[in-house]
Amino acid sequence: MKVLVTDPIADAGLERLREAGHEVVTDHDAEGDALVAAVEDANALVVRSGTEVTADLLANAPELQIVGRAGIGVDNIDIDAATDHGVIVANAPEGNVRAAAEHTVAMTFATARSIPQAHARLETGEWAKGEFLGTELRDKTLGVVGLGRVGQEVAKRLGGLGMDLVAYDPYIGEERAEQLGAELAELDETLERADVLTIHTPLTPETENMIGEEELARLEGGYVVNCARGGIVDEPALAAAVEDGVLAGAAVDVFAEEPLPEDSPLLDVDDVIVTPHLGASTAAAQENVATSIADQILSAFLGEPVMNALNAPSMDAAAFPRVKPYIGLAETAGRIAVQLFDGHVNEVEVEYAGDIAEEDVELVTASALKGVFLPIESQVNAVNAQEIAEQRGIEVSETKRSQAEDFTSLVTATVHNDDASVSVCGTLFAGEDPRIVRIDGFRVDAIPGGRMIVSRNTDEPGVIGLIGSVMGEYDINIAGMYNARQTIGGEAMTVYNVDQEVPDEAREKLEEDPRVIETRYISLEDE
């Protein structure tokens, strides 16, 4: 088999492919027509961020089985086109976990002890010993936003140095947090208690500018360390907070715009340390991602499961057509359930009823988990969803029953913790048209998609009119409405499909009315 490598990767990965008997061709300068010609007879393509894997390129690669990204980000790969052409897309999300965690620890010490600033002064001939009074980390509180793979490794390292740990992560079980020695808390409490705040979440619509001026003010006298993704922390607000003395310092490795512009306010503040996205820049990390991709290519060539595949379902080919329509339905049910839920998730239950209960539904369950984890794991897929659940200490259960009420098949995703749960039940009309037919105890008939508002309110005249008026006031068009109630005059639920994003102010205005118990904005957009 021919493996084409168009971006530099560590030799260890190339050697592993050669030792397995495959032809490895490196062409780091190929672009345009030369790249198309080079990939025409390739069975595997290995890239980093420099090569754009477009639909046109894939269309000219009839022998291609797999595209391997030696790293985590796949923005340069057209995954939909790859799927259309039957090409697996795989990445290496684990390879740089240790490197990113260690860089975070290094940046924490650097800002707490002003190491770069002291070095710079000494280089100019100044012995400024009396001007740098550092902060000892022992017995201080580390606030961790995001207890995923990297966040857990940072917590282990700094917790082992004597720091107390408090963490904000709605998607990790309390038992797993306790194993790490961390106390779970809401974001505001985490900020108020932290002496050092470290951030380890992906950049999503939910996390963009999550840490802004208001949040930074709650960290008064503390430090901020961001080695996760640019755009999570409001950079001008961070620079101002450090310059004004609200924060003692900050250390930043990732930026909303990279390379960092020369006019960035972060560059003008002495107590802000910046590094040029070095989190994964270790020899070991680069070797790890290279060998990981090599191993996945070898698995693809052998017809074995590709563990970090982003687009490759794994099940019996004959059964797949019967199950395929339920994959998207289960993911949607999971996405809606977790956005309706308020609290830390420690259990996800997926129930199958009717004809679908007779099928192999492992992939469908994984898709429901994917929907639950999408807000906090940008790299989640049907292959790694179960693993993410295990890492986060979330129990996953799967149940089946032969009867499905008035439907041929039903799929229900339920998210739990010790105090509450939310269930979302879906079916397929005419075998392929998805519908949400029950949310908790309310029978609805909602078309899932785009943007939605779910309202819980008292069942009395004028509420629907109120919601329509407020939506109109904010220029939000209602595309569809589905109303349900359990008893006359009791509690009702209404699901609205809307064409525009619903701002918090609109929801707050609705909830000022005593008849409106709660509203939730649901986004099923692929941002």
Active-site positions read 229, 258, 277
Given its phi and psi angles, is residue 261 left (phi above 0), alpha (psi -120 to 50 degrees) or beta? beta
Q: Are strands 223-226 and 249-252 parallel, antiparallel or unpaired?
A: parallel
How far apart, in whole angstroms, are the C-alpha atoms of residue 197 and residue 155?
Answer: 11
- The whole-angstrom separation of Cα 309 and Cα 229 is 22
Q: How far is CA 312 from CA 233, 315, 325, 382, in A?
A: 34, 10, 15, 8
C-alpha–C-alpha distance, residues 473 and 497, integer Å:
16
d(CA 518, CA 455): 6
Element (DSSP H or E) covering residue 464: helix 463-473
Strands 409-416 and 347-354 turn out to be antiparallel
Give the separation between CA 124 and CA 466, rounded to whole angstroms: 67
Exposed / middle / buried, residue 339 (Cβ in 10 Å: 0-12, 13-18, 19+): buried
229 closest CA partner among 215, 209, 249: 209
Gyration radius of the chain's alpha carbons: 25
Helix (H, G, I), strand (E, B) or coil at 132: coil
Is residue 163 a contact partner of residue 137, using CB atoms and an 8 Å limit? yes
β partners of residue 496: 453, 481
Closest-CA residue to 49 (of 74, 68, 27) = 74
The token pair that represents 524 in the structure block: 């099923």
Q: Within the chain, how many helices (H) and strands (E) appear?
A: 17, 22
374 burial type by CB count under 10 A (0-12 exposed, 13-18 middle, 19+ buried): buried
Q: Phi then psi for 487, rounded to 5 degrees?
A: -140, 155
